[in-house]
Structure 1
């Protein structure tokens, strides 16, 4: 049996705990990063005109919102932190399993709240901005619920 890595563990846990959401894993081997790409969808029943982050207007029937969380190696990765909902460093050798467990639990909470907020945003004429909310403190609380079970290694090529 192959050794469990950050990627295999994330894939297994996301499939198990987050199957009602669209979450993808994107591994950038050259930049030593792993992105969790998260998407929310909502029906635009009001036919509202929505501007995206780039100022592009849309009146689509289904609105898709995408954001990302980045796991990165501080010694090797290069990125613009503003492009992510959150950035979480890991040691060159890997990341603690309890960090991933807490992250997945907290991500589910973020998406549950985000889905509700997106639906509210589409029906509230006064709302000007929709974005997901991430709290380092809430992540720390979610991680603290799990005991340390060792490290998951960064995947090999």
Structure 2
């Protein structure tokens, strides 16, 4: 079976994100592929943590989830406030294999930094908010380092 964007993405994410939980969700109608990631951290002092919806938690283990989306350029652009990153692709051509590898590698970097930031947030009262940080310029740099020219097709139904 020939690889498509979904299979290639899963393969690269499994390699790059070995210690992190992730899920891939394919929205066939919208031509979007969502990648959700989860960070866990111990809330040793049982601080009350409030998420952006105002839900409070004093759980011993804090679970933080975020997601990025790959979307077809010719479809509706997703709401950028909902995602860590939004990456367009061409539905007819698919995506460069090197870009998918770069995405997985850069996401791993974002999560490693995020894990540290989350622990700092939980252990340092002067830090008021926590969020993952995706830098488009850094992602573009990563893409240059993974310049595979092979295209991976958008999946068929």
User: Shift in Å at residue 76 of structure 1?
Assistant: 1.9
2:153 alignment partner in structure 1: 153
User: Shift in Å at residue 147 of structure 1?
Assistant: 2.2
The alignment of Structure 1 onto Structure 2 pairs a total of residues equal to 156
1:95/1:154 contact within 8 Å kept: yes
Establish whether residue 60 from structure 1 lines up as the match of residue 59 from structure 2.
yes
2:23 alignment partner in structure 1: 24
Unaligned runs of 5+ in 2: none
1:140 alignment partner in structure 2: 140
1:120 alignment partner in structure 2: 120
User: Shift in Å at residue 110 of structure 1?
Assistant: 0.3
Establish whether residue 102 from structure 1 lines up as the match of residue 102 from structure 2.
yes
Structure 1 Cα separation of the partners of residues 78 and 109 of structure 2: 26
TM-score (norm 2): 0.96
1:82 alignment partner in structure 2: 81
Most deviating of 15-24 and 137-146: 15-24
TM-score (norm 1): 0.96
1:31/1:76 contact within 8 Å kept: yes
Structure 2 Cα separation of the partners of residues 96 and 69 of structure 1: 17
1:41 alignment partner in structure 2: 40
Most deviating of 113-122 and 142-151: 142-151
**1:84-125 per-position Cα deviation (integer Å, ceiling 9, x unaligned):** 000000001211111111111111110000001101100111
1:72 alignment partner in structure 2: 71
1:33/1:77 contact within 8 Å kept: no
1:131 alignment partner in structure 2: 131
2:97/2:148 contact within 8 Å kept: yes
Most deviating of 16-25 and 113-122: 16-25
Unaligned runs of 5+ in 1: none
1:44/1:63 contact within 8 Å kept: yes
**Deviating runs (4+, > 4 A) in structure 1?**
none
